[in-house]
Amino acid sequence: MERYDKMTAHQRPESKLNAAIERRCDDLIVLTQELIRIPTLNPPGENYLLICEYLADRLKSSGFEIEMVRALGAPGDSAEYPRWNVIARREGSRIGQCVHFNSHIDVVETGQGWTHDPFGGALLDGRIYGRGACDMKGGLATSIIACEAFLEVFPDYDGAIEISGTADEESGGFGGVAYLAEKGFFSPERVQHVIIPEPLHKDRICLGHRGLWWAELETKGRIAHGSMPFLGDCAVRHMGAVIDELEENVFPALKSRLTEAPVIPEGARNATMNFNSLHGGQTEIPKETGGLPSPCVPDSCRLVVDRRVLWEEDMAETKQEFKDAIERVKARRDGFDYELREMFEVAPSMTDKDAPVVQTVSQAIQDTLGVTPEYVVSPGTYDQKHIDRIGHLKNCIAYGPGILDLAHQPDEYIDVEDMVASACVMAAALERLLVEPH
């Protein structure tokens, strides 16, 4: 394999911690590559047990006690695709606070347009390529290396360190962090500081994320022969009228709303809505069969809506705005009938800048990288929502290596130097929180 050239790394202050991490550069690369090479695609939720067992073996060898937790009964959990999670804990010499690094193990579909093997983990010009490289197997590997280097330099420390690999973040986290939070794994009595190594960049601290509301709208019609559409009622045309109404009146209103929160990128400071999927009529015929559809008027059309909610918006009003738009369409269209199914919602979440984990990581970035960190907020939700709302643990941030814009893209990659720098920051934060004197 191509080796990481340590001479290209930015100069960091000399310290035992930084030196211990630099010595682990090749290990960091291999660990990231091996995680990428386990294709944990979600949906449907492949190879969760395999990657959890891999992590368990790795962390057990570093002195961690391991718990494997299956989210029985959670959405998506089945005999074929069980929702497994791994939690590793290492106790210090004395009673103290617990620092928890949480990373999700699942990745999204690969999509088209790759020039590298999505599950190859190729190392080229200091970058590791693959699905999940930045979102977020590189962050997971970084947190493991940071903790192992810390344990080498400070074997005698207060409190405890936890590392978790959790399921289904990409589909809401209900088989992962939400389930664990319900079982008490993220209670303030057990854990005091949480760092989620999402790819927000090595010199940024992410305080939280926007809220969301997902819903499925179905417009209904009446089936008839396609040559005599006047005998039926086209559900797709009804949906087209709904989309026109949203384009005319709702999207402009969303564009006019701007949050004061430091959301990145800039466009995400507005309230937004996305049409996640749209399907009307009969089931599509696979192209390889060469068959043709039958001539029918569609009696159903379904639209899945992904609405992102700002702190300044009220969730009830957000829902009502959408419902009012549908009712306006109904008032002017004969035969219009619909059903609205709410799928799930998440309130916006944001940790205070004065929170202990924020101040600790901020100082670690300044000491290690020599820059003042930027405070940002994520455009999309991540598992902080469950730690906050279910676990009632407010002292949580996202901090990790990688470029957010690369997530879910073809040729996703993570820069090795970014991982090394972030590992140094994470280890320095552990020193501040767990090594006396405080």
| Residues forming CATH 3.40.630.10 domain(s) in the chain | 6-209+348-434
Phi and psi of 369, rounded to 5°? -100, -15
DSSP secondary structure letter of residue 133: I
The stretches of 246-310 forming alpha helices (DSSP H) are 251-255
| pLDDT tens for the 438 residues of the chain, in order | 444 444 344 456 779 999 999 999 999 999 999 999 999 999 999 999 999 999 999 999 999 999 999 999 999 999 999 999 999 999 999 999 999 999 999 999 999 999 999 999 999 999 999 999 999 999 999 999 999 999 999 999 999 999 999 999 999 999 999 999 999 999 999 999 999 999 999 999 999 999 999 999 999 999 999 999 999 999 999 999 999 999 999 999 999 999 999 999 999 999 999 999 999 998 887 777 778 889 999 999 999 999 999 999 999 999 999 999 999 999 999 999 999 999 999 999 999 999 999 999 999 999 999 999 999 999 999 999 999 999 999 999 999 999 988 999 999 999 999 999 999 999 999 999 999 655
Buried b (16+ CB within 10 A) or exposed e, 256-286: eeebebebbeeebbebbbeeeeebbbeeeee
CATH of region 212-346: 3.30.70.360
Helices 25-36 + 138-153 axis angle, to 10:
140
| Residues forming CATH 3.30.70.360 domain(s) in the chain | 212-346
This prediction's pTM: 0.89
The CATH homologous superfamily to which domain 6-209+348-434 belongs is Zn peptidases (3.40.630.10)
Q: What is the largest CA-CA distance in the chain?
A: 82
Q: Write the pLDDT tens digit of every residue in 247-293.
A: 999 999 999 999 999 999 999 999 999 999 999 998 887 777 778 88
**Percent of the chain whose predicted confidence (pLDDT) is above 90:** 92
Q: How many C-beta atoms surround the C-beta of residue 248 within 10 A?
A: 11
Q: How many C-beta atoms surround the C-beta of residue 355 within 10 A?
A: 16
Q: Write the pLDDT tens digit of every residue in 212-249.
A: 999 999 999 999 999 999 999 999 999 999 999 999 99
Q: How far apart are CA 103 and CA 141, in angstroms?
A: 9
Structure tokens at 99: 């620092």
Q: How many C-beta atoms surround the C-beta of residue 227 within 10 A?
A: 8
Give the angle subtended at the CA of 85 by the CAs of 81 and 86, to the nearest 5°: 140
Comparing CA positions, the residue from 163, 188, 63, 160 lying closest to residue 105 is: 163
